[in-house]
Amino acid sequence: MPQRPTSSLAACVWIPLFPLRCEEARREGLATHPTALLAPDLSRKLWQVSPLARHTGVRPGMTVSQAIGLCPTLRLCEPDPVHYDERFARLLSELNEISPVIESGELGLAYLGTDGLEGIYGTPGRIVEVIKRTMERWYVGTSEAGSPFHRSIFPSFRLGWGLGKFTAWVAASRAKSGEAIVVPPGGERKFLSVQPVAVLPLDPDTHRRLRQLGIRTLGALAALPEEAVTAQFGAAGRQLWRLAAGHTVEPVVGRNAPEPIVAALTFFTPVGERDLLERALDQLIARALKHPRRIGWRVQAVRLRADLESWGGDEDGGRGAACCAPTNRSWLVTALFKDPTADAARIAAPLRTRLEQAPPPGAVERLVLELTAFAPGTAELQLFARDAVAAARAGQRRALESAAREIQQRIKRSCLYHVIEVQPWSRLPERRYALIDFEP
């Protein structure tokens, strides 16, 4: 497997409440009302809440009835995780045009490796400006159904630049909307010392213990002896202390993203029975494993997504709050295998569990399985990997022949040629090669 590219200098792009912002971008006027996004499961609790809704006391995790009691004008949105995933993938594609080293975090969070980009764009400030222009271009593409994009409605991104992912992330989290904070090399410790401890990856218990000890900034934590922090909080405490002191530089690790293997099934009528969905899942797994590009490789990550039956209406079905309608709904689950496998039963096991524990909240119109990451197979399997290459080339050959026949039928003559070697010993290219008609 090729080695992953890394970069010590990092730029962090962060869009808070990314799924909710996607809904506001494709529904004009939604951002001017208190809004909440429902959780993508059957709990019917709130997942993300807009700032306007927070001012009324609405918080994530509340039930719909509790939220409506606090804010009768609250607007609810059904989740569409496939839409959010596609928008985030498009954002990563845009950013990949700036840097080949991209690492994604949660939805709306991405890191760009900027080592070597100084020779292309110039100073860190200019690199940040290039990222800003790219984000503007991506923002324009988030509007749907022909509605224009209004920057005054859609909240802006935040940018941070520094040495290592942690410094870049803290800078982005402290930046204002649409602005950037650049931490110059060598200034990491001074910048981090005044930041609150909440920027560290803390669990609630550790955060509570630090506040009880009177430690509220990274500088106060870094001022303590490393051994004392380790003795109090263990190995996790040592990592936190080194982050606070600026001693740990987490590089951006690029991802080798192969083209996924996709198998899809569209139902004539929406399906809600779990047994039928499990049978469809088995068929999709079998079809994906037979793909020529999968031969010789084991599956490391898989994703199952479903397009759900759409419904409309101005009310939310008796819950008392206006729902955004018509709405597109979807369902998405992912599975990462600790031990890569090519066994259909092992691939289906975690997906079947999710179908049982958190089934789609509606009837399924289309089911799509994607094999997104792979690992080398055993030595025996690798012997057959050449068959996958040969099969792929055969498919390209068939597509080329089909296109050539269509051209001949339309213009009544051949306009395609291919190069053959005639006199390989000749010094003149005109004698070494020749063009002949391509006959499908």
The answer to whether residues 107 and 23 touch, using CB atoms and an 8 Å cutoff, is no
Mean pLDDT of 388-403: 63
Q: How far apart are CA 374 and CA 364, in angstroms?
A: 28
Mean pLDDT of 373-394: 57
Three-state SS at 108: coil
pLDDT at 175 over 60: yes
The residue behind tokens 């990274």 is 218
Q: Which residue has the higher pLDDT, 419 or 176?
A: 176
Beta bridge partners of residue 253, listed in sequence order = 6
The residue behind tokens 């691939």 is 347
* Structure token pair of residue 168: 């870049």
The DSSP secondary structure of 273-321, one letter per residue, reads -HHHHHHHHHHHHHHHHTSGGGTTEEEEEEEEEEEEPPB--SB-SSSSS
pLDDT at 39 over 90: no
**CA dihedral sign, ordered 291, 297, 298, 299:** negative
pTM: 0.75
Among 22-36, 110-124, 380-394, which stretch is predicted with the lowest mean pLDDT? 380-394
Position 151 scores a pLDDT of: 46
pLDDT at 312 over 50: yes
pLDDT at 235 over 70: yes
Position 149 scores a pLDDT of: 44
Three-state SS at 187: coil
pLDDT at 367 over 80: yes
> If pLDDT is split at 50, 70 and 90, which confidence band does 102 have?
very high
pLDDT at 380 over 50: no
Position 428 scores a pLDDT of: 77
CA geometry: angle at 335 spanning 332 and 336, to 5°? 145
Q: Which amino acid is at 411?
A: I
CA geometry: angle at 291 spanning 290 and 294, to 5°? 95
* Structure token pair of residue 177: 């909307």
Per-residue burial over 91-126, b = 16 or more CB atoms within 10 Å of its CB, e = otherwise: bbeebbebbebbbbeebbbbbbbbeebeeebeebee
pLDDT at 407 over 90: no
Position 148 scores a pLDDT of: 44
The answer to whether residues 79 and 47 touch, using CB atoms and an 8 Å cutoff, is yes
Q: How far apart are CA 127 and CA 168, in angstroms?
A: 13
Q: Which amino acid is at 426?
A: S
Q: How far apart are CA 58 and CA 75, in angstroms?
A: 12
The DSSP secondary structure of 356-402, one letter per residue, reads HHS--SS-EEEEEEEEEEEEE--HHHHTTHHHHHHHHHHHHHHHHHH
Mean pLDDT of 85-110: 90
* Structure token pair of residue 172: 């982005």
* Structure token pair of residue 44: 């019917």
Position 318 scores a pLDDT of: 41
* Structure token pair of residue 194: 């005044």
Chain segment 120-168, per-residue pLDDT in tens:
888 999 999 999 988 888 877 655 444 444 444 445 789 999 999 999 9
The answer to whether residues 145 and 203 touch, using CB atoms and an 8 Å cutoff, is no
Mean pLDDT of 22-41: 85
Residues 6+ apart with CB under 8 A from 310: 326, 327, 328, 329
The answer to whether residues 245 and 164 touch, using CB atoms and an 8 Å cutoff, is no
The answer to whether residues 382 and 328 touch, using CB atoms and an 8 Å cutoff, is no
Q: Which helix (H) or strand (E) holds 431?
A: helix 429-432
